[in-house]
Structures are given as structure tokens and as C-alpha cells.
Structure 1
């Protein structure tokens, strides 16, 4: 697993396996956020398999599938709700980029845009292309 920390409470990753989840629980994670649509994976890694593994390890599991280029306000709100849960969280997708995008959009207006983009860049994700979306959300949140 290639875990990349965005904050002390949140790490992002590319696809994890059901057998990784017990180790994540042992490492202190309490919430798994799946941002990868089932259509991108086989049945051994779909939302049903991942939910079962998370629940078996005693972790909270949230599914917020994000198809590239199809972000919605409901997805951003669901991600924000998942990120507000107590404990350390791991959000994953194919590479971690979509999870990082949803994190940045959920944090728009709560952290400066440059800080969000800088944190993402330090983790290896270039979100400069969504700067206008982050700034628009920040402005609407006032």
C-alpha cells in the first residue's frame, strides 16, 4: 500500500485489497472511504467485498464512487461527512487522486486554496486544474 498523508487524520491511497484492511485497523485507521466505482474493479475488490472486510475489522466503511470528470455537490458533501467521522481515515481510488480531489473540494473555504494545492502536491497529486472549482466553492461557502 502506498499511503499518502494529507493530514494527521486522513491518508489517501490507490486501490487497497480486502486483506489490507486488518493491517490498516492495526495501524490505527478507523474509517475506510471507497471512492472507486465498482465498474473499475472485479468482484474481489468491489464495494461489497471491501465493506465486508472493513466491518470484519471493526472499521466504519463509506462508499462514495467517483467516476473521473463527474464530481457532484452530493459527492463532495458525502466526502465531507465521511471526513468528519472520528478517528483516522483512509480514502482510496485507483491512484489516490480522486480521493484527494474530493478532500480538497470538501475543504474549500475551510483552508486556503494554496494550502490545499500545496498539501496535495506534497503527497504527489497535482490539483492545479481544479483551482477554479476550489475557489468557487470557497466563495460560495463565504
Structure 2
């Protein structure tokens, strides 16, 4: 699993599986956010499956599915809400990590 660190507390990666969750937790992540809609790929696990397994090991899991054509204002608002109350490092994922990263970038203050 290749991570792209966007800050000290947020990173992105491509699609994860239940088998990746222990390694994600071992790397210090406290939460995961899925930005990939269920059913987008044939080999993709459903978010509910990942969320249930994450909960079993103490990881918070949130779901903000974004269409591959791009995020809407509603997606950005949903991501902001999903980030509320999370402490510690968060790992966002989707097919490649790009949508999760774009959602996070949109929350950052303009320089």
C-alpha cells in the first residue's frame, strides 16, 4: 500500500481491502474515509465490509462517495462533516487516492 502524505494528519491511498486494516492501524491512523462509490470496480470490496472490519479493530470509518467525474459542492460538504470530530491521523482512499486528496485539499485555507 503506497501512501501519499498531504499533511501530518492526512494521507491518501488507492483502494484498500479488509486485509490492509491492521497495517493501516499499525501506521498510526485512527480513521479511514472512503471516497469511492460502492460497485465502481468488480474487485472492489463494499464499504460496509471494510467499515465493519475497521470497527472491530477500533478504526473509525466514514463514507463520502464521489463520482469519478468529480466532486460536487455536496461532496465537499459531506467530506467536511465526515472529518468533524476525528482526532489523529486519517487515511482517505478511493480507486487511486486522487478524489480523497482533492476533497482534503478543498478544505485547506487559501494561501
TM value normalised by structure 2 = 0.89
Structure 1 residue 74: deviation in Å?
Answer: 2.1
- Mark the runs of 5 or more structure 2 residues left unpaired by the alignment: none
Tell me what 2:88 maps to.
Answer: 87
Residues 57-114 of structure 1, C-alpha deviations (whole Å, 9 max, x = no match):
111110000112242222112212333411100000000111111111222xx132xx
Instruction: Tell me how large the CA RMSD over aligned residues is.
Output: 1.6
Structure 1 residue 40: deviation in Å?
Answer: 1.2
SS in 2 for 1:7: coil
Tell me what 1:60 maps to.
Answer: 60
Q: Could you tell me whether the CA contact under 8 Å between 1:19 and 1:53 is conserved in 2?
A: no
Answer with 1 or 2: which has the greater Rg. Answer: 1
Instruction: Give the number of the structure with larger relative contact order, counting CA–CA contacts within 8 Å between residues 6 or more apart.
Output: 2
2:103 matches 1:111: no
Structure 1 residue 7: deviation in Å?
Answer: 0.2
2:32 matches 1:46: no
Moved more, 63-72 or 39-48: 39-48
SS in 1 for 2:52: helix
Residues 25-53 of structure 1, C-alpha deviations (whole Å, 9 max, x = no match):
12210110001110213486111111111
Q: Could you tell me whether the CA contact under 8 Å between 2:13 and 2:92 is conserved in 1?
A: yes
Moved more, 31-40 or 98-107: 98-107
TM value normalised by structure 1 = 0.71
Structure 1 runs of 4+ aligned residues shifted over 6 Å read none
Q: How many equivalent residue pairs?
A: 110
Tell me what 2:102 maps to.
Answer: 101
